[in-house]
Chain A
């Protein structure tokens, strides 16, 4: 019985939250990796582009709520996402046309494009803050829990409760659907294949008649979808605050590089690697050992490898180690 309690404890505090957080990171990491692989620059505006998309989701959610449309037990935001995506994709294409295209046609070095993306970061951040303000916003509605801790205890008769938030389930399901569609698109369709070819070797791809304009446009569209959905899921699960989104850029970068930048599948798994190591290393295992070990050996301390303050530092340390020993990432992305 104690053993099952211990397992439930880990599920409740580590596995489920890490899976949800990892999915959110994974979407962001695929976004980074796609832009890096095809447009060939490190996009420092990642976090702010995600907050920009989320802002539209929130605005549409408010509109729907004011009109009285809702999805019942599901959050209204799910209905708002498709509309937000349309606006977001428009924004991405406008940015590309007026900012990035010039440097792409000039074949500027990636460093310069990265600098330009910092300019875009500042502008996007300003627009988000001017439109919706810098404060913390929650836009979740509908049923909050799928399984409540108390109910779970009653049903199973265990000491430990398992609480699963509906946002966590939504996050995981949406991520799985989105990512599998994306991989199907990249591996099976003609456009997807030509995107991969272009990322692999630009000159060869151009020689075989691939239209670069179409590739770039598709990339921005996919990027817009990923950014909006990733941002909205994070906002639903936690809350929306432009500053947090900006900071999320850092673990997202870590996930993309750990997985092997330029490799979407690597980025997908990289998100989970980062999320799980962050939570595993900063969780206090005291209660777990209290269940598992006999009473005489009960631990005194918290049995915590690192204090929770170092959550971010964990993922960055992993990144540094990966850069040192396997610069192309775990799943062989581009060699640095």
Chain B
């Protein structure tokens, strides 16, 4: 108990802060912060597995998040029959060609010795393949994108409940990670960072511009929800009764009947959105706890010990007969898959998929700040990092406004400096993140909750 005191203290302070937001701002805001904190926590757990356990830098988190989001779209949206009949066969044929191309290249790489000719033939197959595939898929893509472009214009998905996409998102992200890992894991740490960063940009470019698959920058809105809709809740009796019972003391103060009814209606509207957010919180919390148990188990298993050995001294681990390359690939895939889950969760919560919103600052660098600040190698630290950093990211603007008002209190309200500073309050969050990261890196390089390995 004693040795976990700092963990408990840190988490209680964090929870206290969120509750304070609930009391002083509103429970709606507090819960939306809490939900995003949970999603961020899942992302940081993924990054932490890669960085904390194995020392791999993955700056491609944005790409994996977006793939998870794509999974949510492809699973939950109803299939667009017209689009399928318009261009489905072309797309399927192109897909078949791509698979055939990959197998042809693999066959050549496996069965022939490395030579100049082999390289040329492989290059020729790839270039020819791309040209042919473009030629075949173009009419199909055009036909699909012309099917009611304002409403659909894409193939749609499978029409399944969106919860399934959390698993599928993990597979998507893991699959991409497998390919990237095969290509890039041999690189030195900082090159791996740059390579993954750029590859994730390619992924985003594809998601943004392949309208037949993702609707691109036209966005997909109105995704199905795993939670009830506010509008439906506001009309169900049990919910109204529930709200009434919760606020009985407040309502009893009002004697006038019509006034009481309007007050109740107001409370029901507020309560419904809080209730929906609570549903999400419950779902996310389940994911976070399952992942936490699994990652903790992995960390203290023989496998976890091996990963740390590889991280701390690759050559020695290699000499002891551990397959470093294979383990690196495995952990890269696992971590990215977890990030994929988070991506699907994010889209599930928002109910919309906006490829244009995936930016490296928000989805890669901010997640890294979370991992470093929280404590790399320590799952509790990573989750805490997700909570602290996201909380600050959201609350930075109010805090910044307060500070600006405090420091410029002597100035006139129309003074140009004060006006300018108040206008730029939203950017104080960058400043806060940067300074926070620099301070933590300098004075507490292992994070708020440092890695702590005990042999059980």
Query: Are B195 and A111 closer than 8 Å at their CB atoms?
Result: no
Q: Does B224 lie at the interface of the complex (its beta carbon under 8 Å from any beta carbon of A)?
A: no
Q: Does B45 lie at the interface of the complex (its beta carbon under 8 Å from any beta carbon of A)?
A: no
Query: Are B202 and A313 closer than 8 Å at their CB atoms?
Result: yes
Q: With contacts defined as CB atoms under 8 Å apart, how many contacts are there between chain A and chain B in the complex? A: 123
Give the residues in chain A near B434, CB-CB below 8 Å. 119-126
Distance in angstroms from B56 CB to nearest chain A CB is 10
Distance in angstroms from B186 CB to nearest chain A CB is 8
Query: Are A123 and B194 closer than 8 Å at their CB atoms?
Result: no
Known: A310-B205, A324-B183. A130 touches B428 (CB 8 A): yes
How many residues does chain B have at the interface if contact means C-beta atoms less than 8 Å apart?
42
Residue of B whose beta carbon sits closest to that of A32: B194
Bound CA span A119–B433, Å? 7
Bound CA span A130–B205, Å? 29
Bound CA span A279–B191, Å? 25
Bound CA span A25–B324, Å? 37
Bound CA span A98–B104, Å? 55
Query: Are B437 and A122 closer than 8 Å at their CB atoms?
Result: yes
Query: Are B194 and A253 closer than 8 Å at their CB atoms?
Result: yes
CB-contacts of B429-449 with A (<8 A): 429-435, 437-438, 441-442, 445
Chain A binder among B34-42, B297-305, B330-338, B361-369:
B361-369
Bound CA span A324–B183, Å? 7
Q: Does B269 lie at the interface of the complex (its beta carbon under 8 Å from any beta carbon of A)?
A: no
Query: Are A123 and B361 closer than 8 Å at their CB atoms?
Result: no
Query: Are A312 and B205 closer than 8 Å at their CB atoms?
Result: yes
CB-contacts of B133-176 with A (<8 A): none
Residue of A whose beta carbon sits closest to that of B57: A111
Query: Are A336 and B191 closer than 8 Å at their CB atoms?
Result: yes
Query: Are A309 and B209 closer than 8 Å at their CB atoms?
Result: yes
Known: A319-B195, A320-B198. A246 touches B361 (CB 8 A): yes
Query: Are A122 and B424 closer than 8 Å at their CB atoms?
Result: no
Bound CA span A254–B198, Å? 8
Instruction: Give the contact-size bracket for chain A.
Output: 35 or more
Q: Does B71 lie at the interface of the complex (its beta carbon under 8 Å from any beta carbon of A)?
A: no
Distance in angstroms from A326 CB to nearest chain B CB is 12
Query: Are B433 and A130 closer than 8 Å at their CB atoms?
Result: no
CB-contacts of B26-60 with A (<8 A): 57
Distance in angstroms from A103 CB to nearest chain B CB is 8
Q: Which of A120, A133, A250 contacts B198 (CB 8 A)?
A: A250
Bound CA span A99–B423, Å? 29
CB-contacts of B182-234 with A (<8 A): 183-184, 187-191, 193-195, 197-199, 201-202, 205-206, 208-209
Query: Are A323 and B195 closer than 8 Å at their CB atoms?
Result: yes
Bound CA span A182–B372, Å? 37
Give the interface centre of B189, B198, B365, B437 by most chain A CB atoms within 10 Å: B198
Query: Are A118 and B430 closer than 8 Å at their CB atoms?
Result: no
Known: A112-B441, A116-B438, A130-B424. A320 touches B195 (CB 8 A): yes
Q: Which of A99, A122, A317 contacts B365 (CB 8 A)?
A: A122
Interface of B is mostly: helix
Q: Does B246 lie at the interface of the complex (its beta carbon under 8 Å from any beta carbon of A)?
A: no
Query: Are B205 and A123 closer than 8 Å at their CB atoms?
Result: no
CB-contacts of B354-382 with A (<8 A): 361, 365, 368-369, 372
Query: Are A115 and B435 closer than 8 Å at their CB atoms?
Result: no
Q: Does A114 lie at the interface of the complex (its beta carbon under 8 Å from any beta carbon of B)?
A: yes
CB-contacts of A71-91 with B (<8 A): none
Bound CA span A307–B137, Å? 14
Q: Which of B184, B188, B430 contacts A129 (CB 8 A)?
A: B430
Q: Which of B187, B205, B427, B442 contacts A126 (CB 8 A)?
A: B427
Query: Are A123 and B435 closer than 8 Å at their CB atoms?
Result: yes
Distance in angstroms from B225 CB to nearest chain A CB is 31
Distance in angstroms from A273 CB to nearest chain B CB is 15
Bound CA span A319–B183, Å? 12
Give the residues in chain B near A112, CB-CB below 8 Å. 441, 445
Bound CA span A121–B445, Å? 18
Q: Does A93 lie at the interface of the complex (its beta carbon under 8 Å from any beta carbon of B)?
A: no
Bound CA span A114–B188, Å? 13
Query: Are B431 and A115 closer than 8 Å at their CB atoms?
Result: no
Distance in angstroms from B211 CB to nearest chain A CB is 10
Q: Which of A44, A313, A336 contacts B187 (CB 8 A)?
A: A336
Known: A120-B434, A126-B427. A114 touches B193 (CB 8 A): yes
Q: Which of B183, B201, B423, B438 contacts A250 (CB 8 A)?
A: B201
Residue of B whose beta carbon sits closest to that of A129: B427
Give the residues in chain B near A336, CB-CB below 8 Å. 187-188, 191
Q: Which of A109, A115, A253, A313 contacts B372 (CB 8 A)?
A: A115
Known: A111-B189, A309-B209. A257 touches B194 (CB 8 A): yes
Bound CA span A317–B201, Å? 10
Bound CA span A252–B183, Å? 21
CB-contacts of B93-111 with A (<8 A): none
Give the residues in chain B near A17, CB-CB below 8 Å. none
Distance in angstroms from B416 CB to nearest chain A CB is 13
Distance in angstroms from A163 CB to nearest chain B CB is 28
Q: Does A192 lie at the interface of the complex (its beta carbon under 8 Å from any beta carbon of B)?
A: no
Q: Contact residues of B with A, CB < 8 Å? A: 57, 183-184, 187-191, 193-195, 197-199, 201-202, 205-206, 208-209, 361, 365, 368-369, 372, 421, 423-424, 427-435, 437-438, 441-442, 445
Could you jot down 30 A-B contacts, CB within 8 Å? A102-B442, A110-B189, A112-B441, A112-B445, A114-B193, A115-B372, A116-B438, A119-B435, A119-B437, A121-B434, A125-B427, A125-B430, A126-B430, A126-B434, A130-B421, A250-B197, A250-B201, A253-B194, A254-B198, A257-B191, A307-B209, A310-B205, A312-B202, A313-B201, A316-B198, A316-B201, A317-B202, A320-B184, A323-B195, A327-B187
Q: Contact residues of A with B, CB < 8 Å? A: 41-42, 44, 99, 102, 109-112, 114-116, 118-127, 129-130, 133-134, 246, 250, 253-254, 257, 307, 309-310, 312-313, 316-317, 319-320, 323-324, 327, 336
Task: Please give 4 more A-B residue pairs, beta carbons under 8 A apart, in addition to A126-B434, A130-B424.
Answer: A116-B441, A123-B434, A257-B191, A323-B191
A-B pairs, 8 with minimum CB distance: A122-B434, A123-B434, A126-B430, A126-B431, A119-B437, A129-B427, A316-B198, A309-B209
